[in-house]
Structure formats: C-alpha cells, structure tokens
Structure 1
Amino acid sequence: MSSSNLVSSLYLVAFAFLLHTAFGADPLFHFCSNPENFTANGPYEANLNKLISSLYVQTPPTGFGMSNVGDKPDQTYGLALCRGDVETSDCKTCVADASSEIRKRCPYNKAAIVWYDYCLFKYSDEDFFGQIDNKNKFYMLNVRSVSDPEAFNQKTKELLSKLAKDAHATPKLYAVGEMDLSESEKLYGLTQCTRDLSSTDCKKCLDGIIGELPSCCDGKEGGRVVGGSCNFRYEIYPFVNA
C-alpha cells in the first residue's frame, strides 16, 4: 500500500470511528480478504453456512469458537471471538450480526473478516488456526491530542506491555487494567488474542502491534490497533463492562 493510500485509509478509519460512536450498530471494519470467489449454492457455500451455524452455537458460552467444515477443495475454516468482558447474550447477538453482515459485504469471497466492538468473525478456505494474522489489520484513534505526548506515549506503552504479559498468562488470552496519569486522571487499557494462538504467540502478536503505537496513535487520547489475531485499546475513560 502506498503512503498516500495508507493515510487515506487511516482517515477513513477515524471517520468510521465517529460513525460507530454515533450509531453503534455498524462494524468497525472488514476485509474481503481473498480475491478467489466461490460459486453460489455450491459445496463451499454449503460448508460455510454450516460453519457459521456452528460458530453461532459454539462461541457465546465461552466467548470463543473455532471450527472447520467439509473436505478439500471446499473445506472452510472459521473462528469467532467476543471481547472478554461481554455477556453471553451480547456475544451471541454480535456473532449473529457479524456473520450476517460479512456475507452481505463479501457475498462470494472465500475468505473474509469483520470486527465489531464486541466481537470478531473470520473465515477462510485455508487453515489459519494457530498462525499470527498480520495481514488483516486496521487502526482507530481518538482525534484529540494530549498536552504532553512524550510522557503519555511512554505510559501508554508501559500499561499495554504489562497487559500483554497478563493476557498471555491467562486462559482467555485477555487482560484489562488501568494506570494513574495524575491525581484526577487515569489511563485504561485492554489486550486480547484469539484463542487458537499459543500463549507464546499471543505475547508475540501483542508485542508486535504495541510496537506500532507511534504510527497508530502518537499523542492521542485513545487508540487501537486491531488485527486478525490480537488487538489492544487504550482510552482515558473506562470502556469495558464492570
């Protein structure tokens, strides 16, 4: 991607953030990530429909599901992940919305991914389980800047690095925490990985995207790097459910 296209994409992402804040129902972002299409009403679509049904049932109780359906060359692989603080009912709703919306946006693509605030939904004709996905990724940022970017950036990296260590050591590969910025202000953070990753690869994935802080969110009051295998978010206000 050229630098001009990247900048345009980041502005679009920031605009998408404002739309999402206003309306709340749309996906954060999506990619139709495979140029190869499948035939309508063919065996791949039949397997994909079975996969979606399986993930809809499998994901909400634990917040994560993964499955594969069919045989080559029409085998399909997929996973769904809900944010670690999301209730089962909200997880179920999000997975249903995500699986429906991605089929509308990528109707015949053999691979696609969509993110909402509460969940991620991903499928492919290739086995991606246990592999760090660095291809599907986007940034979101708060357009407001802090008064002391250097100090704020350092504290943000410190908090997120701690949360990366915490997340990789938990079964859910998820962690949240906070840090005092002053007597009256706090910084809040979240890190999470998809649970097909090993603990080691979760830490590697999170360390990688935390390293993108300068290009993502330099001196901004809030931001996210969101990928197909892991994500982080930080804000100066609480954003997870108690």
Structure 2
Amino acid sequence: MATTTRSIAPRFSCLLVLLLGLLQSPPSVHPSMTEDPIEVRLRQNNYLDRICFPSADGLSPIYRQNLEEIFRYLVDSIRIRGFSNTSVGESTDTIYGFAICRGDIPADICRNCIAAAIERVKIECPSNSSAMIWFEACFLRFSSKRFLGIFEPKFPVVWTDNSQLFAKSDGMEWVYPLVKEAADNSKRFATMIEPKGGYTSYSLAQCTIDLSSADCSACFQYAMKEIGNNHTLGRVWRFACPSCAIFHYTWPFFFTSP
C-alpha cells in the first residue's frame, strides 16, 4: 500500500518540489517494438503534485495579463537549455517565473511537459498569485516574490510505496555519492543504477539550476533529513521541494544518454 506524507510547514525559514505519478507499481505502458517505454511514459505528461498560495485580494487584470506573458515566455524558451526564468511587470503586479525539466529530458518532451504544467496549474490554482507544480519530467513555479537563486528548505513532499520495506541503511547508502555528483556538476543533475539484493535501484537527483553548488548540497542535506523522518520507507520513493528532488525506483525511468 502506498502512502503519501505531505508537510507544508508554516515556518518560512526553510524551500523545488522535484522535479517526479502513478508510482505504486512499475509503469503500465504498452509501447510497440520500436518505442522506448521510458519515452512513451514521459510523453504522457504525468502530473505529480502542486502547491497553490492564496492571494488575499485576488488577481488584478494586469497581474493576470503578466502571468500569461510569463507562461508564453517559459514555454517558448524552455527548449533552448532545459530551464528558463523571467520576470514581468512593475510594483505589486510583478511576477517571477521559473521552469525546469529533468536533466535527461529531450527538448521536445521538455517543452510539452511545461506546456502541460501551465494548463494544469491554471486549473489547479486559477486565482493564486503564486504556485508551484510538479510533473514527472518538469517543474514550474511563479510568484509575486523574487525567489531565483534562493534556497528555502520548506514545502517538502515525500511519497513512499511501503509495500516492500527495507532497512534505511540499505536504501540510503547510495544517496551520498549521487547527490555529491549532482551538486558538483553544472547541470545540478545526476543518475545512478545500482544492483542490490534481489532487485536493481534506479535513482535520480537534481537541484534547480539557479542554485550554487553549496546551496544544492544544503538542499540535499535537508532532503535526507526529511526522508530520514519517514519510518516506513519503501524501495520506491521520491522527495521533492522547490529547490531539489531525489527519486528512487526499482524500474528504469530516466534516459541514460541525455
């Protein structure tokens, strides 16, 4: 049985949500002989989670107009580098926008994911001045407050399939070299495939590209603390917050050649 532990702390001293649905069992896609099952799944644009922040006074017409401009820019520019950020407006109508795809995602899947995230966040957070939304392949965020380059350890989301429990030491020992590799490279992204007793683990770690190496490492330390607080950790789990994400599955879910 899968359980979700979601903690949205009121303390604003701590902040990505990774950047990744339907994880209770390996993906049930049925590609043809020539199709890559990972690509087939990613093209489904699977929605994971979102956080909507209420706006006390609602959204002004100018703010809504600026938000649409943010959305257009993000979806049009995301394919160039796999991430994009911009700001639009002045004074109280200023909006900051950020979008990023997983480091292994091809440009066309990346753009389609951000486009799907934009349409979904319009439904999930229709009158919110700030929101963040996670899909399996991408992450989108917009806010009335500047957040780029700031590590804020809060809003953690931990999902675990606890149908197959194991000792935490068995499930966590691989994390340290993985997150170190992610924090130390310019893409802030790393993957790992590791045979274990009776199964193979597939792991991914990523920070938002705007973070420094030190802040990326700090986010992963925060992630490890939150994961460690989960006393029913299964073989399949994911952690995400607005600044970083770690995913640990027992089936292939990422491309090995970005």
User: What is the TM-score normalised by the length of structure 2?
Assistant: 0.79
Give, in angstroms, the shift of residue 217 of structure 1: 6.6
Q: Which residue, 86, 97, 102 being the options, matches 1:67?
A: 86
Are 2:47 and 1:27 aligned?
Answer: yes
- Give percent identity, aligned residues only: 25
Bigger proportion of residues as helix: 1
Structure 2: where are the runs of 5+ without partners? Answer: 7-20, 30-43
1:168 equivalent in structure 2: 183
List gaps (5 residues or longer) in structure 1: 1-6
- Cα displacement (A) at 1:214: 2.8
| Secondary structure of the structure 2 residue equivalent to 1:233 | strand
2:177 is aligned with 1:158: no
Conservation of the 8 A alpha-carbon contact between 1:178 and 1:186: yes
Q: Secondary structure at the match of 1:61?
A: helix
State the 1:58 CA deviation. 1.7
Distance 2:247 2:87 in 1: 30
- What pairs up with 1:117-136 in 2 under 5 angstroms? 117-136=136-155
Of 77-86 and 213-222, the range deviating more from structure 2: 213-222
Q: Please report how far the alpha carbon of residue 178 of structure 1 lies from its aligned counterpart in structure 2 after TM superposition.
A: 2.3
- Conserved 8 A contact 1:86-1:118: yes
Cα separation, 2, equivalents of 1:110 and 1:121? 14
Q: Where does 1:18-167 land on structure 2 (aligned, <5 Å)?
A: 18=24, 25-39=45-59, 42-146=61-165, 149-150=166-167, 153-167=168-182
- The Cα offsets for residues 70-96 of structure 1, whole Å up to 9 and x where unpaired, read as 111110001111111111111000000
Offset, 1:137: 2.5
Q: How much does 1:143 deviate?
A: 3.4
Instruction: Give me the CA root mean square deviation.
Output: 2.5
* CA distance in 1: counterparts of 2:85 and 2:201, whole angstroms: 33
Question: Is 1:202–2:222 an aligned residue pair?
Answer: no
The CA distance in 2 between the partners of 1:233 and 1:120, in whole Å, is 14
Shift of 1:156: 2.7
Listed one character per residue, the Cα deviations across residues 198-234 of structure 1 (whole Å, up to 9, x for unaligned) are: 1110110011102222334744011011111100011
Whole-angstrom CA distance in 2 between matches of 1:37 and 1:105: 18
Number of residue pairs the alignment of both structures matches: 226
